[in-house]
Copies of this chain bind each other. A is one copy, B any other.
Amino acid sequence: MVISMYAPNVKVIDVGRKPLDDYVFDAIISFREGVNDIIIKGRGDGISRAVDLYWRLKDRLGDSIELVNVEIGSERFKGRKRSYIAIHVRRRY
């Protein structure tokens, strides 16, 4: 897991099968509660959804967030390689 690499006020959102707006809501609440950085993580088919989530969040929050970094990686999962994406977003105000 990557979580431990990040500071306490960094939140990792793992994009799974819930409706995207659930994750958008989760992110907005987190920013309001004082989180500065969010890592949107998507694995396998979830990679496309992670990018969609980023843009949905960007549409909602506009210039109050900035894109810090986009990382693509590969990890072992159940004996197979699986790609992931980690989209690092920061609150600007």
Contacts and interface: CB of A to CB of B under 8 A. Distances in A.
Contacts of A45: 45, 48
A10 interface: no
A9 interface: no
A57 to B, nearest CB: 11
Copies of this chain in its oligomeric complex: 2
Interface residues on A, range: 20 to 34
B44 A72 contact: no
Contact of A47 (B51, B74, B81): B51
- Candidate in A48, A67, A72 with the most chain B CB atoms within 10 angstroms: A48
A49 to B, nearest CB: 9
A62 to B, nearest CB: 13
Contact of A48 (B47, B70, B71): B47
